[in-house]
Amino acid sequence: MEALKIAVIGLRFGMAHIEGAMGCGAEIAAICDCDGENLRFAGERYGIPAEKRFTDYRELLDRRDIDAAVIAVPDQRHRELSCAFLAAGRHVLCEKPMALTREDTRAMIRAADDAGRLLMVGQICRFTPAFEKAKELVENGTLGDLYYLESEYAHDYMKIVDNWRADPLRHGVIGGGCHAVDLLRWLGGDPREVFAYGTKRLLPQVPYDDATVAVMKFDDNTMGKVFVSTGCKRDYTMRTVLYGTKGTLICDNTSPSMTLFTAGPDGMAHEPEIIPVEVNNHNAAREFACFAEAIRGNASAPTDAREGAKTVEVCLSIIESAGTGRPVRPDYSF
């Protein structure tokens, strides 16, 4: 099978995508960064020759030697670059969050539909080994019916927030919290209603709350909670707990094991099972493999444009609820 030819635009987190794509046998046909130093660094690091290095993504749109583009530029530019590559007939893997506004997510869905090309959103937690195992335990019935699920995104942004991440539109709930929201949607379905509180204690340099807690209601009265803290004084975690009628699972993308309680013959949970799991919270290779399979038509993309937009919709509903003090029902009509 011929190797997919890929352009990677934005070469900071984008370097993880170069590695992911190379690990899957794709050919890096072009790399692009408007910052010449970042371009040079990535080019030298991955042995990409000068003729394949660009500072303006528009130079790539007409090239016939590119099948797909990976967009890893600041969130505010996701719409512009994704729509440009889609309109040029390329498939796109766009970093999370898909975009920061409803207007942008809808425009990106339209661009993918009009072009008949795949727009996949890089919700990478769906490829985290612990969360893949959690999904398996939900789907094979080990946990029974879920009645409550919670996830948190706690990550100290103190040192990384003095740039485009300080934009009021780039609220912590959508910027990083979208990982926890997407995870709950993947495991529990689409929340019908959310209610949230927020507070601001830790990051003077951002114009939004740096901690938010949201409760949510899914179908069948299943309940959920997401906690987001972007100034927390602790190491990075996405601790996630799933409570089902037959068992309870405690897992994290930063822990080498997960804890599973299941009910014995007497209906009680006794000693938990400790399940070892690989720690890999940026599994770009599996994500890229999934993107490639979807392009080839062998599988559907787990986070296509509408799926990415739903996660943004829930994040925006949480932010809105924390601001108004009212419950919000996400609008999935796109």
The smaller minimum CB distance to ligand NAD, of residues 38 and 101, is found at: 38
Question: What is residue 266's DSSP assignment?
Answer: T
Minimum CB separation of residue 284 from ligand NAD in Å reads: 8
Question: What is residue 170's DSSP assignment?
Answer: S
The smaller minimum CB distance to ligand NAD, of residues 176 and 231, is found at: 176
The smaller minimum CB distance to ligand NAD, of residues 93 and 137, is found at: 93
The smaller minimum CB distance to ligand NAD, of residues 73 and 111, is found at: 73
Minimum CB separation of residue 215 from ligand NAD in Å reads: 25
Residue partners of 326: CB distance under 8 A and separation at least 6: 195
Cα-based torsion angle of the residue sequence 204, 205, 206, 211 in order, rounded to the nearest 10 degrees: -40
Pairing relationship of beta strands 53-54 and 27-32 according to DSSP bridges: parallel
Asked if 149 and 222 touch (Cβ cutoff 8 Å), the reply is yes
Q: Partners of 157 in the beta sheet?
A: none
Minimum CB separation of residue 72 from ligand NAD in Å reads: 5
Q: Partners of 237 in the beta sheet?
A: 154
Tokens 């099978």 -> residue: 1
Kindly list the residues in this chain that would bind ligand NAD in the complex (CB under 6 A). 9-13, 32-35, 38, 57, 72-75, 77, 95-96, 122, 124, 163, 282
Minimum CB separation of residue 69 from ligand NAD in Å reads: 11
Helix, strand, coil shares, percent, the chain, to 5: 35, 25, 40
The smaller minimum CB distance to ligand NAD, of residues 52 and 192, is found at: 52
Minimum CB separation of residue 94 from ligand NAD in Å reads: 8
Minimum CB separation of residue 18 from ligand NAD in Å reads: 12
Minimum CB separation of residue 146 from ligand NAD in Å reads: 25
The smaller minimum CB distance to ligand NAD, of residues 57 and 261, is found at: 57
Residue 185: name the closest of 157, 218, 212 by CA.
Answer: 218
Q: Which sign does the torsion angle of CA 263, 266, 268, 273 carry?
A: negative
Cite the DSSP H helix spans in 116-203: 129-139, 172-175, 178-188
Question: What does the buried/exposed string (b/e) look like for 262-291 if buried means 16 or more CB atoms within 10 Å of the residue's CB?
Answer: beeeeeeeeeeeeeebeeebbbbbbbbbbb
The smaller minimum CB distance to ligand NAD, of residues 121 and 258, is found at: 121
The smaller minimum CB distance to ligand NAD, of residues 112 and 178, is found at: 178
Minimum CB separation of residue 12 from ligand NAD in Å reads: 3
